[in-house]
Amino acid sequence: MEERRRQRFQFLKLVYERTEGNPMNWVQGLALGGELGWDEQKAEGIIRYLVDEGLLKIWAFGYVLKVTHQGVRRVEGALEQIPGASSPDLAALHGSGAIASHEGTAAGAGGVAVHGNVSGSVFAPGGQVNVVMREQEQGSAPTPGPPVSPRLTLKLYQMGRDRTHQDEITIDQRKGASHQEYLFGLALHNTEPLTKAEGVQIRLQIANRTTTQYAVTLQAPAQAREWKTQVSDLVEEQMADLRFDDRELLCLHRKPVDWDNFKLKLVEPVDGYFTIYYDVTSVQPLTENHAELTIRMA
């Protein structure tokens, strides 16, 4: 049991390190398992456990993984429990195994005892104890729930039309014309009333689901310098990748932020569609949202 716990945390921490603790970055999970000397069956079992716990998420087929905000907090929280430790307290990954929450007396390593009503006590190696005392008084007011966080989503819209924000748009091509550019817009929404999000990062990954064998180019609005990646190509199975970072951007409910004039450059007319996978995060408060959009070619 302890060995399984150690291996689960070892893998979670490795994903955290390789993604630099950024839920927008991804790694190949089975490859990480191979680095640890595990076969695919063992790696898949550990990945599935961590996904079920909400600490990792599978971003794409083949066990392409991202660490969740909960996973980041779990790793960093474990590191903080033992000041100066070279490795996290493995028990911190399993609250039920390492967290005391009961009436009576709790004793940690080194003979340290705590009496009374104890909640959230982590008994670390070497006798260090971190204890949170909880007072329970009859008739006290109930503890308020957590504050509501903003929910950030992206929408597409047509240029030169009614600019309705949608999850899917259709672009009419110029039949028989080669080397064409098509424009569309992207809008950032905060759909949670009475909330605001400050500091926004966006990652777009665009997959080609069309018939073309040529490279397709996606270009961000030239005037929007916060789009750190301005141009990216879709080549065969490789997705285009655009990134946005504006630590001063404020997104309010019912006040979307629009970016006009994204360009989709095609060598030839195509049949099919493009899928846009996106991650949107805010700095204050710390949130993450992800979904997908569709551009159909007619």
Q: Are residues 156 and 129 in the same domain?
A: no
Q: Are residues 125 and 222 in the same domain?
A: no
**140 in a domain, yes or no?**
no
**146 in a domain, yes or no?**
no
pLDDT of residue 177: 87
Q: Are residues 124 and 175 in the same domain?
A: no
**111 in a domain, yes or no?**
no
Q: Are residues 179 and 268 in the same domain?
A: yes
- Give 35-41's long-range contacts (Cβ < 8 A, gap of 24+): 36/7, 36/10, 36/11
Q: Are residues 161 and 289 in the same domain?
A: yes
**187 in a domain, yes or no?**
yes
pLDDT of residue 61: 61
**10 in a domain, yes or no?**
yes
pTM: 0.56
Residue 127, both tokens: 């006798």
Q: What share of the chain is helix, strand, coil (3-state, %, to 5)?
A: 20, 45, 35
pLDDT of residue 62: 67
Q: Are residues 85 and 163 in the same domain?
A: no
**163 in a domain, yes or no?**
yes
Q: Cα dist. 204→74, 85, 230, 277 in Å?
A: 27, 37, 12, 6
Cβ contacts of 53 within 8 Å, gap of 6 or more: none
Range of the domain at 74: 1-101+116-133
Name the domain count of the chain.
2
Q: Are residues 122 and 206 in the same domain?
A: no
Residue written as token pair 């006040």: 255
**22 in a domain, yes or no?**
yes
pLDDT of residue 63: 81
Q: Is 92 left (phi over 0), alpha (psi -120 to 50) or beta?
A: alpha
**147 in a domain, yes or no?**
no
Q: What is the pLDDT along the chain (298 residues), one digit of tens a residue?
A: 788 889 999 999 999 999 999 988 888 899 899 999 999 889 999 998 999 899 998 876 668 899 999 999 999 888 776 444 444 444 444 443 333 333 333 343 333 333 344 333 333 333 333 333 333 344 445 555 567 889 999 999 999 878 999 999 999 999 888 999 999 999 999 999 999 999 999 999 899 999 998 999 999 998 898 999 899 999 877 889 999 999 899 999 999 999 999 999 999 999 999 999 999 988 888 888 889 999 999 9
